[in-house]
Structure 1
C-alpha cells in the first residue's frame, strides 16, 4: 500500500515540476517526464515479482502448460512497454507516433497469442468430432 502512495506522490511532484518548467524549453520537460516515467516503471516492475510468483504457483497447481505462463508474462510486458511508450509520445506532442505504438503493441499481442488460439481451435475441433 505504501508503494502506491510513494509512486503517486512522486508522480504529482513530477507533474508540478513540469508545470513549473512550462515556460522553459520543451526538451527539459520531456526529459523530466521520461525520467519520471522510467522511475515509476522500475518501481512497478519491482512489485511484480510477488504477482508473478503467485501466478506461477497457480499454473503449477492447475497443471496448465508452462508455455501459457510465458505467453501471459510476455503479454503483460508488451502492455506495460507499449503503454509507457505511447504515454511519453503523447506527452511530447507526438500523438500519431503514440497511436502507431499502440497499434504495434496490439499486433505483437495477437502474434504472441496465436499458439494459444491454435491450441484452442484444435481442442474445439476434437470436441466436435
Structure 2
C-alpha cells in the first residue's frame, strides 16, 4: 500500500468511527483498532526494505551484524509500543498508554547499553 491508500483508509476509518460516537462508542473503538492493525501490518511489510538497506550499509563499512540486529529490535520495539499506546489512548486509557511508552523507552535503553559500554571501552583504549 502506498501513502495515499493508507491515508484514505485512515480517514475512512475515522469517519466511520465518528458515526458510532453518539450511540455505540465501543464499535468506533473496534473500527479504529481494525484500521490501525491494517496500517500496522502494511508498515511491517516495509521493514524488510529497511533491513535490506542496512545490509547494504554493512557491506560498505565494517559494522558488526550485532549492531544491525540491535537497531532492528529497537525499531520493532518503538513500532509496537507506539501502536499499542495509541490504541490505549484512543480507547480512553491514557495511564496504560503512558506505561507502555515508559516500558518501551526502558527496553530500548537496556538494549542500547552494550553499545554505550563498547563505545566507552573504545574511548578508554584510545586514551590509554
Same fold (TM over 0.5): yes
Match for residue 8 of structure 1?
7
The separation in 2 between residues aligned to 1:24 and 1:112, in whole angstroms, is 45
Cα deviation for residue 50 of structure 1 reads: 1.6
Tell me the TM-score normalised to structure 2 length: 0.95
Distance 2:114 2:59 in 1: 20
CA displacement, residues 64-109 of structure 1 (integer Å, 9 cap, x when unaligned)? 0000000000000000000001100100000111111100000000
- How large is the RMSD of aligned CA atoms in angstroms? 1.1
1:125 deviates by 0.8
What does residue 63 of structure 1 align with? Answer: 62
Q: Which residue of 2 aligns with 1:29?
A: 28
TM-score normalised to structure 1 length: 0.95
Residue 87 of structure 2 corresponds to residue 73 of structure 1:
no
Cα displacement string for residues 46-71 of structure 1 (whole angstroms, at most 9, x for unaligned residues):
12212210111101221200000000
Instruction: Map 1:45-124 to 2 at 5 A.
Output: 45-124=44-123
Q: Which runs of 5+ in 2 are unaligned?
A: none
Q: How much does 1:24 deviate?
A: 2.5
SS for the counterpart of 2:63 is coil
Q: Distance in 2 between matches of 1:48 and 1:79?
A: 13
Give the unaligned 5+ runs of structure 1: none
